[in-house]
Amino acid sequence: MAKTLNIGMAGAGLSCAVIARELAEAGHRITVLEKRLHVAGNCHTERDPRSGVLVHVYGPHIFHTDDEEVWNLVNRYVTFRPYVNRVKATTGGRVFSLPINLLTINQFFGKTFSPSEARAFIESRADRSITEPKSFEEQALRFIGPELYEAFFKGYTLKQWEVDPKRLPASILKRLPVRFNYDDNYFFHRFQGMPEEGYTPLVQRLLDHPNITVHLGEGLAAADVARFDHVYWSGPLDGYYGFDEGRLPYRTLDFERFEGEGDIQGCAVMNYTDASVPYTRITEHKHFAPWESHERSVCYREFSRHCGPEDIPYYPVHLTEGDALLQRYQARARNERGVTFVGRLGTYRYMDMDVTIRAALDVARAALAG
């Protein structure tokens, strides 16, 4: 990219913000169109005017990564505070620690196992006849056995995806390992934290560059692409094509907000893993900023359901039987010349924020090198 290009961005989430910044610093002119009235996409945070609590508007976001360059990048723009994600789960009328660790195992089975005893016990419960787990259910039964699977995963997964766990790929469970010690840090990564003032200032500062213009409340359509030398599209892949092959399946979330005084549940995230409870978890937002103090509290009760045309797409649904529809859209996307599809919606992948930033950096650098 030698000459100055006129570049369009569909979306002002992390993906396009990172690409926009990289290309703007290289001298290109960037126009960002964002159909919402705020930047930061699904990471958007805002202060509740009544309580002062910083609310994760589209669900809880914890930054964690092993990628030192990405960690340094986000820390250049905003101050991160140390934060360790510790999740609890309510099942069968009792509260446990997640991810499943030695405390969970000992409390659940009423034991006082050492790490090696717990490992041997769980192995005795696991279904060793499953040598190559193909589905989520097989993966769970092979690693943790039926009791822990039923209590912590089966009902939760049914609520989250509304499909039989036999039709979900085994890879989903890799995000939730079992630990044979008392470590209840949900993530394994070296770097973990929360931006002091939330994620929206991070994205605002990424976009704060003389070569970047942001238009809020304006969508970019496929028909607008010709106005630019190149477009980065972080909207839905199928949306670019007017859904003409059909809609890629997504899950959406409904957040039922409630407020109260003081500390409502005592932790940031409480999962409800029983199928009989209709919601998947309750998030109490002020616990994501433990360095602040607020008298009142704001909670979200989170429900997962099929994503309809008017809903916000949250999680792409990948099933064991394959993604033929996705492959058709991807084949068309590969043949596009003036558009690069990026981000969680443009590539139809679940991507954590650090993965999103890494992918965006790679895309921008490849463009600059090419």
Ligand X SMILES: Cc1cc2nc3c(=O)[nH]c(=O)nc-3n(C[C@H](O)[C@H](O)[C@H](O)COP(=O)(O)OP(=O)(O)OC[C@H]3O[C@@H](n4cnc5c(N)ncnc54)[C@H](O)[C@@H]3O)c2cc1C
175 is catalytic: yes
Q: For 251, which DSSP code?
A: E
350 is catalytic: yes
Residue found under tokens 């030698």 = 2
Q: Structure tokens of 325?
A: 């529809």
| Catalytically annotated residue among 142, 281, 344, 358 | 281
67 is catalytic: no
CA distance 207 to 185: 32
CA distance 286 to 141: 36
Beta bridge partners of 282: 270, 301
Residue closer to ligand X, measured from CB, 34 or 150: 34
The H or E element spanning position 233 is strand 230-233
Amino acid at position 189, single letter? H
Residue closer to ligand X, measured from CB, 41 or 193: 41
Residue closer to ligand X, measured from CB, 42 or 200: 42
Shortest Å, Cβ 115 to ligand X: 28
321 is catalytic: no
| Catalytically annotated residue among 47, 50, 76, 175 | 175
Residue found under tokens 């039926």 = 146
**Residue 139, CB-side half-sphere exposure with 13 Å CA sphere:** 20
Find, among 225, 207, 229, the residue nearest to 216 by Cα. Answer: 207
Shortest Å, Cβ 17 to ligand X: 7
Instruction: Identify the three-state secondary structure at position 44.
Output: coil
Residue closer to ligand X, measured from CB, 100 or 237: 237
| Catalytically annotated residue among 77, 332, 352, 365 | 352
The reply to whether omega before 165 is within 30° of 0 (cis) is no
Widest CA span of the chain, in angstroms? 69
Residue closer to ligand X, measured from CB, 345 or 361: 345
119 is catalytic: no
Residue closer to ligand X, measured from CB, 133 or 343: 343
Shortest Å, Cβ 12 to ligand X: 6
| Catalytically annotated residue among 25, 162, 190, 350 | 350
Shortest Å, Cβ 278 to ligand X: 17
| Catalytically annotated residue among 302, 329, 344, 354 | 302
| Catalytically annotated residue among 21, 142, 179, 358 | 179
302 is catalytic: yes
Find, among 131, 168, 132, the residue nearest to 149 by Cα. Answer: 168
Shortest Å, Cβ 120 to ligand X: 33
How many helices and strands in the chain, by DSSP H and E?
11, 17
Question: Is the separation of the CB atoms in 11 and 18 below 8 Å?
Answer: no
| Catalytically annotated residue among 86, 125, 205, 251 | 251
Shortest Å, Cβ 290 to ligand X: 16
Name the residues that contact ligand X, by CB under 6 A.
Answer: 10-16, 33-36, 41-43, 59-63, 219-220, 234-235, 253, 314, 343-345, 351-354, 356
The string over 31-54, giving b where at least 16 C-beta atoms fall within 10 Å of a residue's C-beta and e elsewhere, is bbbbebebbbbbbbbeebeebebb
Shortest Å, Cβ 172 to ligand X: 14
CA distance 82 to 90: 26
Report, as residue numbers or ranges, the catalytic residues: 175, 179, 251, 281, 302, 350, 352
